[in-house]
Amino acid sequence: MSTNTQTNQTFNIPLSVLDVSPIVVGGTVSESLGNTLDLAQHAEKWGYNRYWLAEHHNAPSIASSATSIVIAHVAGGTSTIRVGAGGIMLPNHAPLVIAEQFGTLESLFPGRIDLGLGRAPGTDGLTAAALRGNRRSNGHDFPEQLAELRAFLDPSSAEIGMPVRAIPGEGLNIPIWLLGSSDFSALLAAQLGLPFAFAGHFSPTFTVPAMNLYRSSFKPSTVLDKPHGMVAVNIIAADTDEEAAYLATSMQQLFLSFIRNTRGALPAPVRDMNTVWTEQEKAALQQQLGSSIIGGPDTVRNKLRAFIEATQANEIMVAAHIFDHKARLRSYEIIAGL
What pLDDT is stored for residue 122 in this prediction? 59
Residue 111 lies in a domain: yes
Residues 56-70: pLDDT tens digits? 888 899 999 999 999
Q: What is the mean pLDDT of residues 101-110?
A: 98
Range of the domain at 114: 15-239+292-336
Residues 89-100: pLDDT tens digits? 999 999 999 999
Residues 145-183: pLDDT tens digits? 999 999 999 877 555 667 888 999 999 999 999 999 989
Residue 279 lies in a domain: no
What pLDDT is stored for residue 257 in this prediction? 94
Determine the 3-state secondary structure of 159 from DSSP.
Answer: coil
Residues 172-216: pLDDT tens digits? 999 999 999 989 999 999 999 999 999 999 888 899 999 999 999
Domain tally for the chain? 1
Residue 273 lies in a domain: no
Residue 259 lies in a domain: no
Say how many CA atoms lie within 13 Å of 81 toward its Cβ.
29
Q: What is the mean pLDDT of residues 288-311?
A: 96
- Residues 6 or more apart whose Cβ sits within 8 Å of residue 138: 91
Residue 278 lies in a domain: no
Residue 303 lies in a domain: yes
Determine the 3-state secondary structure of 204 from DSSP.
Answer: helix
Name the helix (H) or strand (E) containing 144: helix 142-153
Given a contact cutoff of 8 angstroms between Cβ atoms, the answer to whether 259 and 19 are in contact is no
What pLDDT is stored for residue 9 in this prediction? 78
Tell me which residue of 14, 32, 12 sits closest to 24, measured CA to CA.
32
Among 14-23, 46-55, 133-142, 226-235, the least confident range: 133-142
Q: Flag whether pLDDT at 2 surpasses 60.
A: no
Q: Flag whether pLDDT at 114 surpasses 60.
A: yes
What pLDDT is stored for residue 163 in this prediction? 83
In angstroms, the CA 53 to CA 62 distance is: 10
Residue 121 lies in a domain: yes
DSSP-assigned states of every residue in 299-317 = HHHHHHHHHHHHHT-SEEE
Residue 277 lies in a domain: no
Q: What is the mean pLDDT of residues 86-90?
A: 93
The per-residue pLDDT of the chain, averaged, comes to 92
Report the CATH number at residue 210.
3.20.20.30
